[in-house]
Amino acid sequence: AQSVTQLGSHVSVSEGALVLLRCNYSSSVPPYLFWYVQYPNQGLQLLLKYTSAATLVKGINGFEAEFKKSETSFHLTKPSAHMSDAAEYFCAVTPFGNEKLTFGTGTRLTIIP
């Protein structure tokens, strides 16, 4: 069985500051891990994914995430926040790409001007 825990339902950072969104997972098999972003009243857009290749994954819009097996973590970071980054972010896990995704509860990111 898989599960995801996202610490912090709300995160606020100043424009230009580091963004760090936390995700810890539980999986009985080597996982596929994803970060998706959701803007209000829209679907989910894929930011990046980990599928057992490089542990440091680079995604779109300057985001990246590092898979740490020893810590069962897949935290999302961005060096410098932009106003357009304000959205809801979901971490998700699956044992295989074509199986259901198990989502975390989401983190709402607010950017302070």
CB nearer to other proteins: pick between 13 and 36: 36
Q: Give, in degrees to the nearest 5, the angle at Cα 10 between 5 and 15.
A: 125
Task: Specify the 3-state DSSP secondary structure of 79.
Answer: coil
Which residue, 80 or 105, has its beta carbon nearer to other proteins?
105
Among all chains, which residue has been given the structure tokens 């985001």?
63
Instruction: Determine the interface stretch with other proteins among 15-23, 63-71, 78-86, 104-112 (rule: CB under 8 A).
Output: 104-112
In the complex with other proteins, the residue whose CB is nearer, 34 or 63, is 34
Q: Is 58 in the site for other proteins (CB under 8 A)?
A: no
Helix/strand/coil for 60: helix
Cα separation, 17 vs 4, in Å, equals 26
28 touches other proteins by CB under 8 A: no
